Structure 1
Amino acid sequence: MYRVLIVDDEPLIREGLRTIVNWEEHGFVVAGSASDGLEGLQKTEKLAPDLVIVDVRMPGMDGLNLIRAVRERSRPKPHFLILSGHADFEYARRALEMKAEGYLLKPVDEDELTEHLAKMKSILDEESRKEKVPPAEWSGERIVASLLAGDFGSVPEEAVAGAGLDGDSFEVVLIKPQSREEIDGATTARVKRKLSETYEPAGRGVVFSMDPYLGIVLKNSAGDPGALDAACRAIARACADSGLDFTAVSGGAVARLDELERSYRNARERMKSRFALEGGKVHVWEPPASEGHAGGGAAGGGKEAPDLNAAGEKLLLALDIGNADTAAELIRGTGEAMLEAGMTEQEIKAGFAQMLTMALGKLAQNRPELKEKVQAYSSAVPDIYAEYRFSGLIGRLTALAREMAEPFRGCGGDKQVQRMIELIRRNYSENLKLESLAEVFNYNSSYLGKLFKQTTGVSFNTYLDQVRIEKAKELLADGMKVYQVAERVGYANVDYFHGKFRKYVGVSPSEYRKRLH
């Protein structure tokens, strides 16, 4: 009997699938069920199902991410049938592109499910026949695949000897070819072929594919301090021929072939943090110093994630005055803080997209004369998702920030106080603070405050209040409601706005509006 795992967040669907057909009649048994993608991933590793029936749309880890994770982590890989509602066809289409074997529309039809099971049984039967391979037909890569799956007992001893897998130590090096563009299968095969030509004829190792990675099993590397450097050079040559970059990690050397799975498991774990890893070397797995490891970023140190709204506000001010250095430093500092907080690759990219979109949106609103330039920069924001390495992402963003700051350089007056005044008049509705302005102007806040008062005769906060109240008077004259005016001019608390308005105008906002009308 082939084992089936059902993954769906709806209890009725899970129970309905258990009972809709006689599974054993079709050669299957339902080994378990899961209510979400994360539980499905755990049960896949525990139950080793041959077939997973999964809903593509679930809270938390959805079906697409489950398929991705299972194919990266599970050996052997199960087959997948997709469950989807009418509104989720785009999810289902993407799942089929990931080579899921079929698509079932909810509510599931018994005859349709039966047809899929018959097809799956034929596929699984054929795979079972192919697994019974005579020793002479065991290639080095086939042997490695069995070893990495922890199935050492299935490999004939004479096959191991014939494949040249003898040595004093063995080490798995995983390779992720990378590019800002999608890498097709032919290109990956070309990289693999180049590596095979380097390692296999000389008996130095075996090259294998383990989607989404390529890999090398190095022989006798424990006694060769230059083995990983040589591997790095070989990988670099193979990737460069196809115009690719790469990340490579080693799971460490083991003494026996039956321990090879451990080296592979370590390398795979280290590869999860590839976004934070630099290129140009083979990174070696080390036991984690503490719990908490970010799936696509770096080891989480328990630090708090940065306030992206505050960072976006500072970026807005830096760009508004054309301070490219401060804008670039804000991006670097925010990126490092996200990395140290253990945020994943996608979370970091989404954080930067949020930060940039907010700053550029407000710039377009506050500087209408430069709206077209701002919109052009906004169209470049989605490009950050093509970056596959943290250092590359920061490099792209800092270059973009410097480019964005250029049109605003010199738009204000030559004196710092005059530039501050212009900045306040454009951004009075923002959460402006002297400390924030001092940071973007590269001044000590106390000194900047004294300089501002000497020039204008009033403190920074008083001047900001005066600008806001003058704008509030205009909006009240236009008939806008008091609470709307308070929010529009930058006062989050309407009672506080009342107090400020009375202080500077002598009457309440409501009374002022009545006098006008």
Structure 2
Amino acid sequence: MYTVLIVDDEPLIREGLRTIIDWEEQGFRVVDVASDAMEALRKVPLLKPRLMIVDIRMPGMDGLELLRTIQEQHRPCPRFLILSGYADFEYARTALQLKVDGYMLKPIDEDELIKYLSLLKDAIEEDDRKVVEGPDRESAIMRLMSGEDHVLNGRNNWNWSSYEVALVKLQSHEEFDTDVIAQAKNLLSDRFERAGKGVVFFADPYVGLLLKDTAAFRTAHSTVYRLISEVCVECRLDFIVVAGGAVPDQASLKASYERARSLMKHRFLYAGGKLYVEEPELPVRDTEAEDSSEEDKLSIALEAENPDAAEAALRRMGTNWVAAGASEQDIKSGFISRMSVALTKLSQTRPEQREHVRKYNSEVAALYSEYRYEHLLRHLFSICTEICGKLSENGAGADNQVRKMVELIHRNSSDNLKLESLAEALGYNSSYLGKLFKQETGENFNTYLDKVRIEKAKDLLRQGRKVYQVAERVGYTNVDYFHAKFRKYVGVSPISFRKNIGNIDTME
């Protein structure tokens, strides 16, 4: 049975066409209907109809534009019957120029429809009888992949010991058009068929390879990879290639094809350099590396001019996203968001470096063009290394680690600062750095941080800010805890301090 999709905005026409004739008696089956062109475009890739009956006049995209779009985007392309009213003759004439198989005037005549279906059935059967090595080879291959056919019709010498589907995703950091894809496909066809390794076809958005006898040769996949690599070097393209596993006959090709498509969903995680036949091994989630804490560590590492600590924080973030099954888009958005926040914060804490830091925003945005996870990480690491290097060049830091800690505390006191985070950013053991800090400043790290925060709180209270606002601004999320700390170091509550600012300032 040949499948049919009916596209018409009038419900009576749609349902009338379903029942006007016995479709199965004519060798066809109506698999679905669509009420407009956009709905049809969504259904065509799923249903892969052999025939579409389309109304010319529809709201939004009309039938002719739908026809053009499908002819441009879908292989194999269905055959078309156009429906029109008497006033649509010019539309109908244009439709005939687009090589539709006929048009019918409304109301539909049953005998006329049956006549068209008879002609179309013969035409489709003739398509299927054509030599597979001819122009319709790709249509025949795709019908095998979809499971619509179980063996290639007509003459063919593809009696191989095994069959396997490989899919190639052509990639580049630069934009490339369909001409480049066509060139690469033609070169691949020439290399593979001349070497007797298989045949090439389009499997949008991939280039497909129907591989011959791969189960019989241990080095078959490496040979396939080498041939693709040679072509892509010539076309100045990169690529990822996956294969769905060898099957014993043509009827089983759908399984190999679907397996290859499933593997291709993971292409962002593949490093390249070989043909992939397995899903990537996902890392184990680091339950101690929470997103918010890693974001803080990234900011502190950049402040401390330590690219290694920044790299470690970024890698932990990425590991957890990958382990959780995040999509390519989500991973890219996550990294870009965290880096943007870190850069914004850096420009605030280092106002003298603001213009310099802002220059990296475009570099961060360019991460969207990366199509491999490891390349994305390397790009991120290089940005962090360059930022830290420039900050160091400009004399942003001091050699003395305790002095660096003090600077970091004063610039970032409102953040969730921890001795462990600073130690990691500075490349020291936290216990050792804590002792060193107390030896140099006379205060424990937490006490020093509290005192810096309270001094900033006093300034804000002098400005008339509300207590809960001050607590949040200086880094205390719990107002009661802020009250306790303020009373401990100042001797009065924040409210009393604000009421008696003049007297207390005199006492100080």
Instruction: Select 2:319's aligned residue among 336, 340, 356.
Output: 336
Q: 1:368 aligns with which of 335, 351, 376?
A: 351
CA apart distance, 1:55: 7.7
Secondary structure of the residue that 2:216 maps to in structure 1? Answer: coil
Question: Displacement, 1:332?
Answer: 2.3
Q: What corresponds to 2:15 in structure 1?
A: 24
Partner of 1:358 in structure 2? 341
What percent of counterpart residues are identical?
Answer: 41
Match among 199, 206, 210 for residue 203 of structure 2: 210
Q: After the TM superposition, which residues 151-190 of structure 1 pair with which residues of structure 2 at under 5 Å, given as runs?
A: 151-153=148-150, 155-156=152-153, 158-159=154-155, 161=156, 164-190=157-183
- Displacement of 1:413 in angstroms is 2.1
Unaligned runs of 5+ in 1: 7-16, 30-46, 57-62, 87-95, 102-110, 287-296
| Residue 146 of structure 1: how far off its partner (Å) | 1.6
Aligned-partner Cα distance in 1 for 2:19–2:343: 56
SS at match of 1:380: helix
Cα shift at 1:416: 0.7
**Residue 396 of structure 2 is aligned to residue 411 of structure 1:** yes
- Are the structure 2 counterparts of residues 23 and 299 from structure 1 closer, same or farther at C-alpha, using a change threshold of 3 Å? farther
**Range 444-453 or range 459-468, more displaced:** 444-453
Match of 2:371 in 1: 388
Any conservation in 2 of the 1:316–1:362 contact (CA below 8 Å)? Answer: yes
CA distance in 2, matches of 1:317, 1:78: 62
Q: Which moved more, 1:133-142 or 1:345-354?
A: 133-142
Does the 8 Å CA contact 1:208/1:216 hold for their aligned counterparts? yes
Deviation at 1:499, TM superposition (A): 1.0
Cα distance in 2 for residues equivalent to 1:392 and 1:335:
12
- 1:327-361, Cα deviation, whole Å (9 max, x unpaired): 12222232222212221111111110121111111
Amino acid at match of 1:225: R
Aligned partners of 1:48 and 1:78 also within 8 Å: no
Residue type matched to 2:290 in 1?
D
Give the counterpart letter for 1:380 in structure 2: E
Q: Which one of the candidate residues 249, 260, 265 is aligned to 1:267?
A: 260
Uncovered stretches (5+) of structure 2, i.e. residues with no partner: 21-29, 61-68, 75-83, 103-116, 503-508
Q: Is the 8 A contact 2:295 2:313 kept in 1?
A: no
Distance 1:178 1:202, change over 3 A: same
Structure 2 partner of 1:144: 141
In structure 1, C-alpha distance between the alignment counterparts of 2:271 and 2:34, rounded to whole Å = 37
Which deviations, in whole Å up to 9, do the C-alpha atoms of 1:64-111 show, x marking residues without a partner?
A: 9x78xx84x765699999xxx99xxxxxxxxx899799xxxxxxxxx9
- Over 3 Å counting, the alpha-carbon distance change for 1:508 and 1:175 in structure 2 is same
Quote the Cα distance in structure 2 between the aligned partners of 1:146 and 1:344. 30
- In structure 2, the partner of 1:348 is 331
The 5 A counterparts of 1:159-308 are 159=155, 161=156, 164-285=157-278, 307-308=290-291
* Partners of 1:238 and 1:174 in 2: CA distance: 15
2:483 aligned with 1:498:
yes
1:2–1:28 Cα contact (<8 Å) kept: no
Alignment of 1:306-321 (within 5 A): 307-321=290-304
Q: 1:153 to 1:408 in 2, by over 3 A?
A: closer
Question: Is the Cα–Cα contact under 8 Å of residues 276 and 298 in structure 1 kept in the other structure?
Answer: no
CA distance in 2, matches of 1:467, 1:498: 15
TM-score if structure 1 supplies the norm length? 0.76
Residue 50 of structure 1 and its aligned partner are, at CA, apart by 6.8
> TM-score, with normalisation over the residues of structure 2?
0.77
Alpha carbons of 1:170 and 1:350: their partners in 2 closer, same or farther (altered >3 Å)?
same
* Secondary structure in structure 1 of the residue aligned to 2:246: strand
- Report the Cα distance in structure 2 between the residues aligned to 1:207 and 1:50, rounded to whole angstroms: 33
Deviation at 1:52, TM superposition (A): 8.0
State the match for 2:446 in structure 1: 461
Q: 1:54 to 1:489 in 2, by over 3 A?
A: farther
Given the superposition, is the C-alpha separation of residues 225 and 379 from structure 1 closer, same or farther in structure 2, using an over 3 Å criterion? same
CA pair 175-100 structure 1, distance change in 2 beyond 3 A: closer
1:322 equivalent in structure 2: 305
The one-letter amino acid of 1:237's match is E
**Aligned with residue 379 of structure 1, among 362, 381, 391:** 362
Based on CA coordinates, which of the two structures has the bigger radius of gyration? 2
Q: After superposition, what is the alpha-carbon deviation per residue over 1:50-70, rounded to whole angstroms, capped at 9, x for unaligned?
A: 7585989xxxxxx99x78xx8
Counterpart-to-counterpart distance in 2, 1:298 and 1:124: 49
